[in-house]
Amino acid sequence: MSTPVASAAKPLPEWSRFRFPQSLYKYAAALATLFFLWWSLGTLRIDIERLPGILGRMFEILSDRYWPPDVNHVLGSGYIAAVVDTFKMSYVATVVGLLIAIPLAWFGSFNMTPSRRFLYPAARLIVMSCRSVHEMIWTILLVAIVGFGMLPGTLAMTLFCIGFSGKLLAEAIEAIRKGPVEAVRASGANQFQVFLFAVLPQVRVAWTGIAIYTWDVVFRAATVVGFFGAGGMGHYLRESVQRVESQEVAAIVLSIILIVFIAELVSAWIRARIAKAVA
Amino acid sequence: MQGDVSDLSRYDHHAARIAAWRNRSRRVRYVCYFLITALIVWSVEEIVVADTDWSRISWESMLRSAQQFMSVDLSIFRSLMGPALETALMATLGTLVGLVLAVPVAWLGAMNISPLGRTTYVIGRGLMTLSRSVHEVVWGLIFVAAVGLGALAGVLAMGIRSIGFISKTVAEAIEDVSPGPVEAMRAVGASRFQILLFGILPQVIPVFIGNVIFEWDVNIRRSTIMGLVGAGGLGLALHRQMASYNYGGVATVLLVILLLIIAGEILSYYARKAVI
């Protein structure tokens, strides 16, 4: 009880924004960050002197060579067919990927997995390895194995879909309420029946949202898999890039941005509608 | 609906309405199922039957191509260390660019602090969607076109691509801040900027840093393919090995990519744990 008296007797130290050791750490951290920036720019061979005027130069190049976009190129029937192909690839990949990802999500959810020792790590490993490799690398590998065309693109997207949706679906399972599960289990249901009658009804809405979102992401990737030898719009992009037809490239890139933007809006709208219809 | 239980017609009316709704929703569901199946059949027909030349593809040929990747060419392992470092640095700088650019976008896109209300809010949300909805390969091509070949294009592409995720999560965190500190600051006469700096920022910093670390992890994955469109790093090495049909070398590059990604994942896991 004597402490307050003692501290009151002591004169308060004069306040300052930075004290001795803390301020030193702060300056050291700032200095280290600056040094890191300087060093990494050097390692990446990025010219620091060229950075200030970069926006102006970027604008100049884009307006000189890429403007106006060659709109007729993307309105041709070949390109429209490629857009439809892209849609088909993304659609098949999403549906097949989801069908594979659903059991994996069940096995890979910590609370509901039928076997924590074997199936759980196995499912997690599959989903993780699909996830950790970038979808374009899958595309390149599969094009090397299967050959050019829509099939390798679809397979690559399927793997990507498994990795992407598997994690989200499993997280949805991990968030369910335990009550219905215990009730169904108490009535003598086996593991599969528990999944079917206690887990599935709880995650149905979340999974529908995830499925649509996954399609959206897969479609975005499907627009460019053609760049690496699979079919779809990306194939046109590659041809124009290789022929250095800048205005065609501009038109294709703009069309990709526009189409993906629309797909994203549609998917967001459907997801919102589902959420509203359920609530 | 209290009391008057004898009025059964009212309940009949309700029951009929529920039954009609159920019928209708069932019909909608069947139409949905039918559409999904029809689309699948149509697409599979095109992809697997029409577009694939099955006479050229056989199990043997596929196995042979797959086997080529099995002979890992470890002689180039040492020469890949430089590109691996480059890839990691590109991802880090790209994340830094994204972090800096995400702050103003989050400021525009958070409803409660958006400077001009509705107008700037829509602009901010639009920028987020634009950044997220364009694939990194497309951003890479755009920036390679604009600033030339090299790591700078990759850094900028990943920076722009990162804005969407970081600013969206931060804007949502800003919309959810507890109003107490903000009101307290307003009560003592703080300006808008001061409220932002001392009332809102401290509350969203953990979300911000956590998501930046997450995005860094994702950016490592992205930067491994930036070289394929002309922005250095491991992607360039992959492209070179691929172009010279050295499949063993391709396998080695893939191995290094995998090691880098695992290292990034472990690092980001512990970094996130330390922050949150």
Tens-place pLDDT, residues A39-52: 888 888 887 777 77
A215 HSE (CA, 13 A, CB side): 24
- Residue B265: phi, psi to the nearest 5? -65, -45
Partner-chain residue, chosen from B39, B51, B150, that has the shortest CB–CB distance to A231: B51
Q: Tell me which residue range forms the domain holding A202.
A: 72-278
Mean pLDDT of chain A: 86
Confidence band for B1, pLDDT divided at 50, 70 and 90: very low
Cα B219 off chain centre by: 9
Cα pseudo-dihedral A102, A107, A112, A118, rounded to 10: 180
Residue range B71-275 in CATH 1.10.3720.10: yes
Nearest CA to CA, how far is A40 from chain B (Å)?
A: 6
* Cβ within 8 Å, pair B62-A92: no
* Cβ within 8 Å, pair B48-A151: yes
Nearest CA to CA, how far is A95 from chain B (Å)?
A: 8
Quickly count: other Cβ atoms within 10 Å of residue A210's Cβ. 22
Identify all chain B residues contacting A204, using CB atoms and an 8 Å cutoff: none
A58 interfaces chain B, CB cutoff of 8 Å: yes
Identify all chain A residues contacting B134, using CB atoms and an 8 Å cutoff: 220, 256-257, 260
Confidence band for B6, pLDDT divided at 50, 70 and 90: low
Confidence band for B4, pLDDT divided at 50, 70 and 90: low
Whether residue A15 is contained in a domain is answered as no
* Cβ within 8 Å, pair A92-B40: yes
The C-alpha atoms of residue A218 and residue A139 are separated, in whole angstroms, by 13
Whether residue A5 is contained in a domain is answered as no
* Cβ within 8 Å, pair B46-A134: no
Do residues A184 and A193 touch, judged by C-beta distance below 8 A?
A: yes
Confidence band for B7, pLDDT divided at 50, 70 and 90: low
Query: If 0-12 CB within 10 Å is exposed, 13-18 middle and 19+ buried, where does residue A127 land?
Result: buried
Instruction: Kindly give the residue spans of alpha helices, DSSP state H, lying in A62-199.
Output: 71-75, 77-107, 119-132, 135-146, 150-174, 178-186, 191-194
Whether residue A115 is contained in a domain is answered as yes
Do residues A100 and A165 touch, judged by C-beta distance below 8 A?
A: no
A145 interfaces chain B, CB cutoff of 8 Å: yes
Question: Between chain A and chain B, how many beta carbons pairs sit less than 8 Å apart?
Answer: 144
Per-domain boundaries in chain B? 2-52, 71-275
Q: Give the tens place of pLDDT for each residue, A152-209.
A: 899 999 999 999 999 999 999 998 999 999 999 999 999 899 999 999 999 988 898 8
Nearest CA to CA, how far is B22 from chain A (Å)?
A: 13
Amino acid at B15: A
* Cβ within 8 Å, pair B36-A88: no
Q: Residues with Cβ < 8 Å from A45, sequence gap 6 or more?
A: B150, B151
Q: 């492209």: which residue's tokens? A: B239
Partner-chain residue, chosen from A149, A223, A224, that has the shortest CB–CB distance to B52: A149
How many domains does the structure of chain A reveal?
1
Which residue, A93, A124, A277, is CA-closest to B21?
Answer: A277
pLDDT at site B230? 84
Partner-chain residue, chosen from A91, A137, A150, that has the shortest CB–CB distance to B51: A150
Whether residue A30 is contained in a domain is answered as no
Do residues A157 and A96 touch, judged by C-beta distance below 8 A?
A: no
pLDDT at site A144? 85
pTM for the model stands at 0.83
CATH number at residue A193: 1.10.3720.10
Nearest CA to CA, how far is B151 from chain A (Å)?
A: 6
Whether residue A8 is contained in a domain is answered as no
Do residues A208 and A168 touch, judged by C-beta distance below 8 A?
A: no
* Cβ within 8 Å, pair B142-A253: yes
Confidence band for A121, pLDDT divided at 50, 70 and 90: very high
Average the pLDDT over A91-102 and give the result. 94
Identify all chain A residues contacting B224, using CB atoms and an 8 Å cutoff: 134, 137
Partner-chain residue, chosen from B40, B46, B86, that has the shortest CB–CB distance to A43: B86
Strand runs labelled E in chain B = none
Cα B231 off chain centre by: 20
Whether residue A243 is contained in a domain is answered as yes
pLDDT at site B8? 61
3-state secondary structure of A230: strand
* Cβ within 8 Å, pair B85-A43: yes
Quickly count: other Cβ atoms within 10 Å of residue A149's Cβ. 18
Average the pLDDT over B214-230 and give the result. 90
Take residue A107 and report the two structure tokens written for it.
Answer: 């096995």
